[in-house]
Structure 1
Amino acid sequence: MKFSLFSIFFLFSISFSFCQVEILTTENFAENTKSGYWLIKFYADWCPHCKKLNPIFEEAAKKYSGGVTFGSVHCPDEGSVCNKQNIRGYPTVKLYENGIEKTTFNAERTVESFRKFLINEIQPVHQIKSFKDLEKEEVQFLLLIESSNSQKEQLIRNYQNSALENFHFRKFSIFEYDSSDVLKETDFDAKIIEESIKSGGSLVIFYKDLFETFEEIFYDPGNLEELIDEGLFPPMSELSRSYYQKLKKDKQTFALAILDRKHEDSELFKETMITFSQTQKHLNFVWIDWENVENFFLNLPVKKQDLPTIIILTQPDHDLYIQPKDMGIANFFKQFSDGKLKKHQEDIQEKPEVFFSDDPQNSFEFSPFILLIVVGFFVGVGFMAYKLYNRKREEREKFD
């Protein structure tokens, strides 16, 4: 095979790590920053304060670049951009929203200061006073918390961190109350109240008309971010580029149901898969319409007449398992869990575009293939230099 999934993923991982802070130039500044939130550092390489800021800015980008894209502009090379943005000193850090400057960062240059700055300016967590304030969305997060709860400060901090990382996926809300009487005066569901006030509150995850509550976070606030991460995409969410990137980044093995949405049995098949997701907790269950398969995979060994069908793609091993035509769903998952399922011999190839987000704010500066060309160039230069060195040495030896 010419280019395996492992090779693509390996290069993607390198590209991702190199591009936590995107390099902005005169040519790409306006186009790249026109959508979403951007935190941009304007600097000069000779500036000592800039050198001190660099590792701090990069660390902040690693932690908080989920919903915010971090960028940098080297002003000595990109003077026109810096002049247009009224840069008067180095370093200068500004926050942009949809291409428009929102504010300038003037706090202490620490990772924690960047966190507080982004939370204050973007406000990824919505304060609500009534259950009716919760918008009807596919997934909605709500932190119910009693004001006197001893874990309140740590829980809110963890909740804000998750919201800052994922607010572009889902909406995050918080309701802080003083007593159960205050809570009852609002329009909150009685069952939610009953389950929540026992521990001083809870995390509530709404899935359309259903909800789940988690009180155990008040015994271990560290569980909060994990629960949110698990609840971002309910079982059998449709596969999108951003969701696919998250699965790859988190090295999550997933079961992909390939359907023809026009077929009358497609909804029934999804409901069946949701049932199996309750017992197959080690898998993420997603689905994709047949017409969109080619937007993700180049050589998926599945034909339309095979639909509906299931594939399992493991992470980080990248092994592919395809449901045999004569094997039922229950047996397919059992065979996989028991390690008896035969994996597909040929690696699956992904489209390069799959590593670029649906939203321009989350796209990467370099694709894996560009990175491959760059790496290949330097390897080639090194090899030629080595050959030239040997030839020169041989010529000198002839005269010695």
Structure 2
Amino acid sequence: MIYLDNNATTALDPDVLEEMIPYLTQSYGNASSIQHKPGRIASAAVVKARQQIATSLHASEKEIFFNSGATEAINTVIKGVFALYSGKGKHIITSATEHKAVLACCEYLQKKGAEITYVHTDSNGMIDTNALADLIRPDTILVALMAANNESGVIHPIEEIATITREKNSLFFCDATQYVGKVPLNLEKTMIDILCFSAHKFHGPKGAGALYIRRKSRPTQIETLIHGGKQEQGFRGGTYNVPAIVGMGKALELAVSDLTCQQKISDLRDLLENRILTEIPDTEVIASAVSRIANTSNITFRHTKATEIMSRLTDIAISAGSACVSGDRDPSHVLKAMHRSDEEAFCSLRFSLSRYTTEEEIKETVAKLRTVVCQIREQSPVWQLYKDGLLD
């Protein structure tokens, strides 16, 4: 199996697994039970992982809060900010290209009285920062915009967005799920107020994530949503998932220590795109003109349904969009927000590489893809109409 769906999830790094195993077997104490040795061993492991993450992101350990992943974090932040700051205002700004977790939270809060504004994105999916600045009002309590898009790979100008929101006295929440571990990030210098990520996007375990909440220069507060014990400074109750937290700390440390591998991944992504464009007619790389994370390519195969391509590529794992909405029959909301037609959205595939992807896998993927696309088109009356000039 050739695995090119790494924006959905990544393989667990063997070194990460090795780090986790002791806490799945012998050292199984509760990290909050520090009155005995097993608990203290578990607690020390959590402390170490927090240090690894803080160091990797140039943050303070007190600014790192563990949770189950980005979806929990997004719900916690958007709903928690609204609960705490709705006395100041009820205006939230986001974009139509955000992850469904962000959009669903905003839709939920809209029913509770929030006013949601969607900042304009261009045909490349880029945020219009001038428009963003104009949209922020005195009653804007939160700007929720991602660092890198999970479907297109487009990187947003998060430093500029952070500067704008700070000048306008609004909070900036950044979903960095596809960004952390792939792009250098210094949270001490970048004035982001809140940021989230998930371990399984950078070869860590599933079910582990973290929130960065700024405590320096402009301390940020969020209403607690998960009440219980005093874990995470009382912010998020619940028993620590020690093995997963340990794995996340190790995985991020490994990813950040070898960011140079992103150049190799970028080269393979370029090879994939160039070969597809050269060998398969009527194809287009989406957002190729702007900065993207190194591993991601979204390609449209004109009048050739993505689902049909995938059904025939049984030994290659690719995606027709976000894994979280892959069961939807609607066209990708991201591509629609990038002013693509339903037809283009239904005919687009996402390829997402990792540090384990090889050149041989890329070449084999293109060869098999070329064969499958040709077969589908030869059997398609729609394709024949297009070739006869009767269809755009």
Higher relative contact order structure (alpha carbons within 8 Å, sequence separation ≥ 6): 2
Asked if TM exceeds 0.5, the reply is no
More strand by share: 1
Q: Which has the larger radius of gyration?
A: 1
The interval holding the TM-score normalised by the smaller chain is under 0.3
Structure 1 length normalisation: TM-score?
0.25
